[in-house]
Amino acid sequence: MCAMVVIADIDKHFGNFQALSKVSLEIEQGEVLCIIGPSGSGKSTLLRCINQLERIDAGAIWIEDELVGFRQEGNRLYELTEPQIARQRLASGMVFQRFNLFAHMTVLENIIEGPVVVQKRPKSAVVPEALALLDQVGLRDKRDAYPSELSGGQQQRIAIARALAMKPKLMLFDEPTSALDPELVSDVLNVMRDLARSGMTMVVVTHELGFAREVAHRVVFMDQGRIVESGPPQQLLSHPTEKRTQDFIAAVLS
Amino acid sequence: MVKPESGAGVAAGKYSIAHLTHQPRRHYGRWLAATLIVIALAMIVKAFAQGQIAWPVVGQFFTAPAIISGLWNTILMTICAMALGLVLGVIFAIMIMSPNPVLKYVAVFYIWFFRGTPLLLQLLLWFNLALIFPTLGIPGLFEMRTVDFMTPFMATLLGLGINQGAYTAEVVRGGILSVDNGQIEAAKVIGMTRLTMLRRIILPQAMRVIIPPVGNEVISMVKLTSVASVIQYSEILRNAQAVYYANNRVMELLIVSAIWYLVVVTVLSIGQHLLEKYYSRSEGRRGAKRVQAAAAEGA
């Protein structure tokens, strides 16, 4: 296995608030990494730095050995242009807490939008792939529905299909089940479990400790913008070494 | 309290009046108001019927060449000025939301100036531009006399279009602000550049908010074109005036114009209704759902 993503000493501030400080992390090809932690711990920010929804203030990130967001010239890192950043974002697919399906497009239009408009692939090739993805998430019969006609669980599965349609190298999930009614969570987790088994590299910010325990190869616990502890799920979730991790897990499970 | 097994038990004794027929309340006030309005209307109709209006003249000039060509010019100007207004509106809305302070404050100034001065004054400014700039052009590239360029058509187009752009910019800005930030992030993560995002995601969604007020503004633009009669643009009102200066049938020709304005505005209103329906097609059951959700929260 080789490192798919390398995060080295990144900082991120929002005004005076230090969201991330000196965070370093490596993610292997095919690894499923779950990030847990209290709200405001910086876990979503870390995820958003990987695909440049947030610009890092210091440090560097590489995806498959390509420096993300900057180019090196001498002893400085120069920020890339907007089209270059847009191209780099294609490496990762992202699933949001609030789904963010394009409200004015049908399910099928949502899925083919990126491949057709951004990747300029022919519609005739993209549509069969999109239908196969709809089969994969179990929602083929919803191809002509608008997002507003779907439940949260269905919208989130479509959002996963939309991200996969871009054929990303890794998938980022930002609390994908936090906005769902409890009975809809398992549908989404099932799709994610299948995806993990297929060998996709996944970074999942989540509160679903059961999912982390079952599917993750490694779990990272973050607090106050730092990685406190990381390790295999059995160890980190059952026998955490740090006091803060113990407290958090006890609070979530109670 | 004893709960009765069936309704039959209750509707006995003093409760037996439950069987009686209900008599709805009578709305005497409504009858009175309707009667007064009908009388007033009848008087107005009678006045017009007895007034010295030569209705055959109205019919005769309704499709006269001067009127029809004026109507055509009114429609043409509405389309051109509105198109210019929309293009400028989108450009200035984007400028005013730009992080670049120069772009932003130029747009702020534009909106301030053109919303702050009367349209009639702006038309006169454009039409008389030759008084301060005898020639127009880019030095060394091309040059022309301002009076040749600033025809009544051009002055009206610039006046109405640029003025409209200032109003439309605010409408477009409101529409863009109404688009959820999550939609923009979703567009970013599938690799869209800002221009693609604007074209494919933001503007189509902003349309739902932009269409109703712009529809209203198209309708008021039809009527605003009549202001251009003062700078000799041959729209319908000016042509009607030209006719009545010749034949003295002032009221008849004004009525002809009024009817044509009503026809155009009615057609546009229907078109606006259809457009609104089209752009809200993805709303689906969301409206109903929101009401339900609000009700559930309130409970």
Q: Which of residues 185-244 of B touch A (CB under 8 A)?
A: 185-194, 196, 200-201, 204-205, 208
Name the pairing type of β-strands A32-36 and A201-205. parallel
What is the length of chain A? 254
A108 CA to chain B: closest CA distance, Å? Answer: 13
DSSP B151: -
Cβ-in-10-Å burial (0-12, 13-18, 19+) of A182 comes to: exposed
Report the C-alpha gap between A44 and B119 in whole angstroms: 51
Give the pLDDT confidence score for residue B2 in this predicted structure.
Answer: 52
Give the pLDDT confidence score for residue B8 in this predicted structure.
Answer: 54
pLDDT tens by residue, chain B, 299 residues:
455 555 556 667 888 888 889 999 889 999 999 999 999 999 999 998 888 888 899 999 999 999 999 999 999 999 999 999 999 999 999 999 999 999 999 999 999 999 999 999 999 999 999 898 888 888 877 888 888 888 999 999 999 999 999 999 999 999 999 999 999 999 999 999 999 999 999 999 998 889 889 999 999 999 999 999 999 999 999 999 999 999 999 999 999 999 999 999 999 999 988 888 887 776 654 444 444 444 444 43
Q: Is the CB of residue A221 less than 8 Å from the CB of residue A248?
A: yes
Report helix, strand or coil for B98. coil
Give the pLDDT confidence score for residue B276 in this predicted structure.
Answer: 84
Give the pLDDT confidence score for residue B153 in this predicted structure.
Answer: 94
Q: Is the CB of residue A201 less than 8 Å from the CB of residue A171?
A: yes
Global model pTM greater than 0.80: no
Report the C-alpha gap between B146 and B131 in whole angstroms: 9
A243 CA to chain B: closest CA distance, Å? Answer: 36
Q: Is the pLDDT of residue A21 over 60?
A: yes
Residue for token pair 């097609």: B281
Alpha helices in B63-136 (DSSP H): 65-96, 101-116, 119-127
Q: Is the CB of residue B197 less than 8 Å from the CB of residue B184?
A: yes
A94 vs B189: CB contact, 8 Å cut-off?
Answer: yes
When CB atoms are compared, the residue of A53, A82, A113 closest to B190 is A113
Beta bridge partners of A172: A94, A203
- With residue A24 as reference, give the H or E element that holds it: strand A17-28
B191 vs A53: CB contact, 8 Å cut-off?
Answer: no
> What is the arithmetic mean of pLDDT over A10-37?
95
Query: B111-141: buried (b, 16+ CB within 10 Å) or exposed (e) per residue?
Result: beebeeeeeeebbeebbebeeeeeebeeeee
- A17 reaches B (C-beta below 8 A): no
- B100 reaches A (C-beta below 8 A): no
Biggest distance spanned by C-alpha atoms of chain A = 55
When CB atoms are compared, the residue of A102, A119, A146 closest to B201 is A102
A94-146: per-residue pLDDT in tens? 999 999 999 999 999 999 999 999 999 999 999 999 999 999 999 999 999 99
Q: Is the CB of residue A62 less than 8 Å from the CB of residue A69?
A: no
A240 CA to chain B: closest CA distance, Å? Answer: 34
When CB atoms are compared, the residue of A90, A148, A166 closest to B282 is A148
Tell me the ipTM for this assembly: 0.92
Q: Is the CB of residue A176 less than 8 Å from the CB of residue A157?
A: no
Name the pairing type of β-strands A17-28 and A32-36. unpaired
Which chain A residues have a beta carbon less than 8 Å from that of B196?
Answer: 117-118
> What is the arithmetic mean of pLDDT over A182-208?
94
Q: Which of B190, B195, B210, B211 would you mutate first to test chain A, the one with the most A CBs within 10 A?
A: B190
Rounded to the nearest angstrom, the gap between the alpha carbon of residue A141 and the centroid of all alpha carbons in its chain is: 26
Higher local confidence (pLDDT), A45 or B9: A45
